């Protein structure tokens, strides 16, 4: 039987020793693309991802999988589901509606290298200190247009956190909810029309 390249079935370990986490794109056809081929270790380009076929996108490594569903943008972080809601004047705005299909996926790394006098640049070996993934999207809910950019951030010696950028097309005094299964974690804030606000939230 042909092995499928899906987050449900993938071996959650990086094929290369120098990078413990790699990005992975899962397609509706139950195949996909990984940053390094899991068998040949050949590197693939992020630009080669077929974004119109994406079902899920995220990171795999060290036995863990972290991703979001491209239908709506809800996250799955090590087996736990997370979504984002906004409440204002008694109205609830669910920002991860499955009818909103996301193609603007994001991933990048942060690296550091210590430079010593007399060392050639070709000999430098940067050390990766952070992995980041998420997306950027526009979603309209109950007549309000939101711009949403959630980035899951995995930084050395820090807890896993969500860096969320949010704006709306009007002034709103809101309660932002990060929803984990049956729990909701509130964050009171004000949105100014077309101005981006940011929230740093540690995953629990």
pLDDT tens per residue, range 102-130: 999 999 999 887 665 555 555 566 789 99
State yes or no: pLDDT of 37 exceeds 60. yes
pLDDT tens per residue, range 147-170: 999 999 999 999 999 999 999 999
Phi, psi (degrees; rounded to nearest 5) at 146: -110, 145
Global pTM reads 0.92
Beta strands in 49-160 (DSSP E): 54-61, 64-69, 75-77, 80-88, 91-94, 105-112, 127-135, 137-141, 144-155
Distances in whole angstroms, Cα of residue 4 to Cα of each of 10, 26, 179:
8, 10, 30
């Amino acid at each position: 039987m042909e092995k499928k390249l899906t987050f449900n079935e993938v071996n959650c370990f990086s094929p290369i020793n120098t990078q413990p986490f790699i990005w992975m794109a899962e397609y509706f056809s139950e195949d996909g693309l990984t940053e390094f081929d899991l068998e040949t270790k050949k590197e693939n380009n992020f630009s080669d991802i077929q974004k119109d076929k994406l079902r899920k996108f995220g990171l795999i490594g060290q036995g863990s999988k972290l991703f979001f569903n491209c239908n709506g943008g809800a996250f799955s972080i090590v087996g736990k589901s997370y979504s984002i809601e906004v409440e204002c004047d008694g109205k609830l705005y669910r920002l991860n509606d499955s009818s909103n299909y996301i193609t603007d996926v994001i991933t990048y790394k942060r690296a550091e290298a210590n430079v010593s006098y007399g060392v050639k640049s070709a000999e430098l070996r940067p050390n990766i200190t952070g992995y980041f993934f998420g997306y950027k999207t526009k979603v309209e809910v109950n007549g309000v247009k939101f711009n949403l950019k959630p980035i899951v951030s995995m930084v050395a010696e820090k807890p896993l956190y969500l860096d969320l950028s949010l704006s709306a097309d009007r002034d709103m005094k809101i309660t932002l909810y990060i929803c984990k299964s049956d729990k909701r974690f509130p964050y009171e804030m004000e949105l100014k029309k077309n101005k981006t606000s940011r929230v740093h939230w540690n995953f629990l």
